[in-house]
Amino acid sequence: MITSARHIELPAFFHLVTLDNVASTNDEALRLAAEGAVEGTLITARRQTAGRGRRGRTWQSDEGNLFLSLVLKPEGGLRAAGAIGFAAALAIADAVACLMGYEAEIALKWPNDVLIGGRKVSGLLIERTAGAAGDTLVLGVGINLVSHPGDTRYPATDLYAEGAEEVAVSRALQEFCGAFLQRYHGWREHGFEPLREAWLSRARGIGEDLSVEIEGTRFDGVFRTIDETGALCLDLDPAGVKKVTAGDVFFHDSPGED
């Protein structure tokens, strides 16, 4: 069921469609994008029955949490996906900071997870579709507002569990959209370097030992930085620095880490 969301005030860039139940907001956004939906088309849902995250994983989609998918048509098409991922992660962190209402321990985990107290509170997924007007990206975002899964490999949390007083989906949507638009326009005007600097200022684990899993292979090293493309630079001394463009990161001191 599609419903109007006139009571939610968003910047003019966004064209909001709200759904009741949907398999996946990303699937709906991809369908609309293939049919020519304009940039800024934003799909939200009360509940997802087949939400998904990175690398084909299931994203638990309980009612009361925020799920959204946003149609974007940046210059560079698929090549822009990496930068948009960093912009979105920063926007989520900005929104979470506002929603928490106090100085929470918010950090960023490569490539685009947001942590509170070392536990994951959100995730995102970027997918591509080809339409009549060219390549389009769909940014999917999930933020745990009032509940979180308890059986994830990397420990999870939600804003309510961390002490947030304001957990309304409508407010979370407004905070994210405002923050994302600022980060997105900033990237379009100034390129990736300001995003890189902002992300590094909030990054967890720089200079620390961590592990990266890539297609079943595990590398242990020291997290040095991210480069000008967003690749993670892992010091494998004495084997040198390995640049990682995809994989799962695990901190050795994470709560509940295996």
Instruction: Determine the pLDDT at residue 2.
Output: 32
- Among 32-46, 53-67, 69-83, 209-223, whose mean pLDDT is lowest? 53-67
Q: pLDDT, tens digit, for every residue of 108-132? A: 999 999 999 999 999 899 998 875 5
What CATH number has the domain bearing residue 149? 3.30.930.10
Q: pLDDT, tens digit, for every residue of 167-207? A: 899 999 999 999 999 999 999 999 999 999 999 999 999 99
Long-range contacts of 113-116 (CB under 8 A, 24+ apart): 113/89, 113/154, 114/89, 115/204, 116/157, 116/159, 116/162
pLDDT at 49 over 60: yes
Q: pLDDT, tens digit, for every residue of 139-148? A: 999 999 999 9
Q: What domain range includes position 226?
A: 209-251
* 63: nearest Cα among 52, 76, 48, 73: 48
pLDDT-derived band at 3 (thresholds 50, 70, 90) equals very low
pLDDT at 258 over 50: no
Distance (Å, rounded) from C-alpha 48 to C-alpha 45? 7
- Any domain includes 258: no
pLDDT at 17 over 90: yes
Please check whether residues 145 and 247 belong to one and the same domain.
Answer: no
β-pair partners for 251? 210
Q: State the pTM of this model.
A: 0.90
pLDDT at 157 over 60: yes
* 231: nearest Cα among 250, 245, 246: 245
Please check whether residues 176 and 224 belong to one and the same domain.
Answer: no
Please check whether residues 57 and 100 belong to one and the same domain.
Answer: yes
What CATH number has the domain bearing residue 214? 2.30.30.100
pLDDT-derived band at 4 (thresholds 50, 70, 90) equals very low
Please check whether residues 245 and 151 belong to one and the same domain.
Answer: no
pLDDT at 239 over 80: yes
Distance (Å, rounded) from C-alpha 193 to C-alpha 33? 29
Describe the crossing of helices 193-202 and 169-190 by its angle, rounded to 10 degrees: 130
Please check whether residues 70 and 8 belong to one and the same domain.
Answer: yes
- Any domain includes 257: no
pLDDT at 89 over 60: yes
